Amino acid sequence: EKTFLSQLYPNPVNDEFTLVIPEIRFQKGRIDIYNINGSLLKSQEIYSGENHLKINTKELPIGTHIIHIQLDDQYSIQKIVKQ
């Protein structure tokens, strides 16, 4: 697996954040949001061509969360703080 750079803003977040991924072609994409203990809180499929995604975080509890973005055999990991 290879890594790629992604960006997200704002951080800390309230109700949503924007995720920016590189314009690379992929077959299968997914965003998983975990709490700091490793429990999966939210999962969302993404599609090739989507490189600015708005991610709703209203239902996430306050605290630190790990964002894992998988595009085929490439991945990126980010951290957010939900206020």
pTM: 0.92
Tokens 């790990």, residue located: 66
What is the structure's pLDDT at 35? Answer: 97
Average pLDDT score over residue span 47-69: 94
Look up residue 56 and give its two tokens.
């709703």
Are the C-beta atoms of 35 and 41 separated by less than 8 Å?
A: yes
Based on the number of CB atoms within 10 Å of its own CB, is 41 exposed (0-12), middle (13-18) or buried (19 or more)? middle
Instruction: Tell me the sheet residues that pair with 69.
Output: 31, 76
Given this model, what pLDDT does residue 34 score?
98
